[in-house]
Amino acid sequence: MKTFPKEKILKDDKLIFAKWKTNIVSTKQLILMQENAFVIVTKGKKILFYDEKILEVNNNQILLLKKGVYTMTEYLAEDGFFEAIVIYFNKALIKQANLLELNSIHQAHRLLPDMLILDKSRIMDSFVTQYFSYIKENENTRALLELKVVELIYLIIKRHPNSKDFFNSIGQQSSDLLDLMEKVYKENYTIDQLARLSNRSLSVFKREFNSIFGSSPARWIRTRRLSDARVLLSHTDKSISEIAFACGFNTLSQFDKSFRKHFHKTPSSMRTETTGQIDKT
C-alpha cells in the first residue's frame, strides 16, 4: 500500500482512518491497494490512469476504490499541498452493514468497475468535518468509527442508488494477490519486486502464491502469458512478434523457445493448425 506523509491514523481491525498531507510533487506510480478505500480529497486533486482514461477527483467528489492495483498521482493545491482523508475498510464491514442481499449478490457477479467517482452532498461534507475532529482528538472508539463508516455507506447509496451493487461486489472479493497478478503478469517484474509490490516478504509472497495458484510465481506467469499468446494466434491476425511483446516476452526468440517447450510446437505451426493462416512474423 502506498505510504503518504500522514498526520494521524485511527484504526481497528476493520478500518483505518488516515489524514494524508504532502507537499511533494508525485510522479505516476503503480499502487497496490490491499484494502478497499474511500478517498476524500480536501486539497488538490487525485489523478488516476484507468482503462486508457485520465480521471480527476476534486474536493467536491468522493472516490471509492476496490482493493487492487491502480496507477495514480496527485496535483498539489495552490498553497502547495495535497491533502485527503482516506478510510480503508475490508469486506467484513460490508457484511456487518447488512448490505449483502440475495438479489444483489447475483448482480455482484456482473462486470462492475473497480472504482466510483461520485459527487458529494452537503451531509457528506459534514462527515469530512467530523472525521477531522476525530483525527484531531484521536477518537479511536471502535464501535463509533465503524458506525460512522456504515452511515457514510448508506448516505452514498441514498444519493447514488447504483452504488449499492458496487458495495455488494466488495462483499464477494477474492485475494488481493489475484487482483495484483491479473494486472501485472505481463509486466517484467522480478519475484522480489512483486513481493514488495504486494507488501509481503519474499517468503510470505511465495507461500501465499503457491497456496492460491498451486504454482510458483514464475511458472504461473509464464503459463498465463503463453495461454494468452495461444488465443491471440488463433483469433487475431497480429504478427507473431506483436503477440510476443503484447504478452510480456522481451524477445521473439525467448517467446519461441518458451512456446515450443510448453506446447511442443512453434507459434507459426500453432497458427497454421488452428486458422490455416500462413505465419507472419
In whole angstroms, what is the distance from residue 15 CA to residue 5 CA?
Answer: 19
For residue 278, the model assigns a pLDDT of 54
User: Which pLDDT value is given to residue 151?
Assistant: 86
Q: Are 71 and 121 in contact (CB under 8 A)?
A: no
What's the confidence (pLDDT) of residue 8? Answer: 63
Distance of CA 94 to the CA centre of its chain: 18
Among the four given CATH numbers 2.60.120.280, 3.90.1300.10, 2.60.120.10, 3.30.230.10, the one describing domain 6-170: 2.60.120.280
* Residues near 18 by beta carbon (within 8 Å), at least 6 away in sequence: 4, 6, 8, 9, 85, 86, 87, 88
Determine phi and psi for 80, rounding to 5 degrees.
90, 15
What is the amino acid identity at position 117? I
Arch. (CATH architecture) of 176-275: Orthogonal Bundle (1.10)
Report the C-alpha gap between 111 and 91 in whole angstroms.
18
- Which triple of cell numbers denotes residue 189? 517484474
Closest by alpha carbon to 200, among 227, 177, 234? 177
| Each residue's pLDDT expressed in tens, for the chain with a length of 281 residues | 344 445 567 776 667 877 777 888 778 887 878 788 999 998 899 999 987 889 999 989 999 998 878 889 888 888 888 888 888 888 778 777 676 553 444 444 444 678 999 998 888 888 878 877 877 777 777 778 888 888 888 889 888 988 888 888 887 766 678 878 888 899 888 999 898 878 789 999 999 999 999 999 999 999 999 999 999 999 999 999 999 999 999 999 999 999 999 999 999 999 988 776 555 55
8-state DSSP, 265: S
CA–CA–CA angle 87, 106, 119 (5° rounding):
35
Residue type, 136: K
User: Do residues 176 and 68 lie in contact, with contact meaning Cβ atoms separated by under 8 Å?
Assistant: yes
Residue ranges of the domains in the chain? 6-170, 176-275
